[in-house]
Amino acid sequence: MAQVAEQFSRAFKLSELKAEVTSQLTVLERRVEVEALRAVEIEKCKTDIRRMREELAARSSRTTCPCKYSSVDSSRTLGPRRDVPAYPKYLLSPETVDALRKPTFDVWLWEPNEMLSCLEHMYQDLGLVRDFSIHPVTLRRWLMCVQDNYRQNSFHNFRHCFCVTQMMYSLVYVCGLQEKLSQLDILALMTAAICHDLDHPGFNNTYGPHHPAPRTRGRRSLWVARRAEGARAGFAHRHQRRPAWAPGWEPRPPPPLRPAAQGIITLILATDMARHGEIMEAFKDAVAGFDFSNEEHRTLLKMILIKCCDISNEVRPPEVAEPWVDCLLEEYFTQSDQEKEEGLPVAPFMDREKVTKATAQIGFLKFVLIPMFEAVTELFPVVGEVMLKPLWAAKDRYEELRRSEDARTENREPLTLQNEPQPDRTEPQPQRIGQGDPVASQA
């Protein structure tokens, strides 16, 4: 019996030993698996790092950005510029992506690099990059070239370009334009919106023709030609490897895209307010029997849409729209001051001695903006709710502001009579925008 017990004891010890060895082997196997996975991850990291280095090396060798002007003279031409550094790529949040599709988007919250990212997102989101085989890097570099060629004007600057393009982007969604128009039409609308004020000199149509210097008299026509050339050449540059505006090279877009290139120029020229009455009359005549399969009708629609976007600031909330009025008036006042200094005629709506924010906006809303958006509403009823109502509200707001200004002027009249006799004036002198009470300042 003792021997049997001893054998059982040995047997049990062997079992324990076997279990222990098995456990240790399992642990070792797991460690080997972990080490193998680490090796795989390390190789992946090495591969990614190698690829990133190759991409950086390739980017640093590129010098194809085409469009930096090199002179402040009004007769300058756009010429090749230095290589464009990559701007930070921002990941847009879902909230931003959703807000970007609405006309209430606040364009003042974004830095230049962020605006570039938003513009790039618009082209991606609308399927233009995919449908027209636009390389994302080329698109990014072209957008930076456009940004660099907008001047630092009070109003007609790159933020205005972004504002107009964002409104066009929102119209595509609000009106369902991708269901009505071709992708080529959408590409023309978006690209024209981006380029429509490229290299704007900060002076409107009336300045150049009256200027005594021959070079300045041609300022407007040169600028319009430069905008059209910038859109056309930049459009071609997105699809060709050689830089636009290179000496001895005439940029031409690929044959399938040439109609869009010409369409972009047509849309840019439509933003000239000198043609407003002509375009509005033609569009109103076409609305009653509008046919989306009719090329002439589609062209008129696109012209009206870019005109709407170009002057659409009052569609936005008041806190977004009103700073634009200040910017525009500042640009107008700069021109009128220059015209006075040079002895040129000054338009009353640009004279800081005669115009106020309220008077400037009421007439513009009443006779230009509201009728144009009403015409678009006949074709797209949704525009009435989303865009026309804010315009009516803006008109009411500025009329209330004008009544307040008139009341303040009337209240100041008795105080003026208490002062020493003033010389007779042939016309009233309204209060300047941004200045304090004249009576208070005299005190």
Task: Read off the pLDDT of residues 114-141 as tens digits, 9 standing for 90 and up.
Answer: 999 999 999 999 999 999 999 988 899 9
Burial class (CB in 10 A: 0-12, 13-18, 19+), 361: buried
pLDDT in tens, 56-76: 877 654 444 443 333 344 444
From residue 79, alpha-carbon distances to 150, 167, 184, 233 in Å are 14, 30, 28, 12
pLDDT band at 82 (very low <50, low <70, confident <90, very high): very low
pLDDT, position 399 = 96
Cα end-to-end span (Å), the chain: 126
Q: Bigger pLDDT: 158 or 88?
A: 158
CB-CB neighbours of 442 under 10 Å: 9
pLDDT, mean of residues 406-419: 63
pLDDT band at 206 (very low <50, low <70, confident <90, very high): low
CA dist 244 and 179 (Å) reads: 33
pLDDT in tens, 295-305: 999 999 999 99
Give me the phi and psi of 238, to 5 degrees please. Answer: -65, -15
pLDDT, position 342 = 85
Q: Name the residue with tokens 């950086």.
A: 56
pLDDT, position 145 = 92
pLDDT, position 143 = 93
- Bridge-partner residues for 79, per DSSP? 68
The residue count of the chain comes to 443
Residue 347 pLDDT more than 90? no
pLDDT, position 86 = 54
**Which pair of structure tokens corresponds to residue 319?**
């806190």
H or E segment to which residue 78 belongs: strand 78-79
Active site residues: 156
Beta strands in 89-204 (DSSP E): none
Q: In the 3-class helix/strand/coil scheme, how is 257-275 assigned residue by residue? A: HHHHHHHHHHHHHHCCHHH
CB-CB neighbours of 332 under 10 Å: 23
Sign of dihedral through CA atoms 172, 174, 177, 183? Answer: positive
pLDDT, position 230 = 52
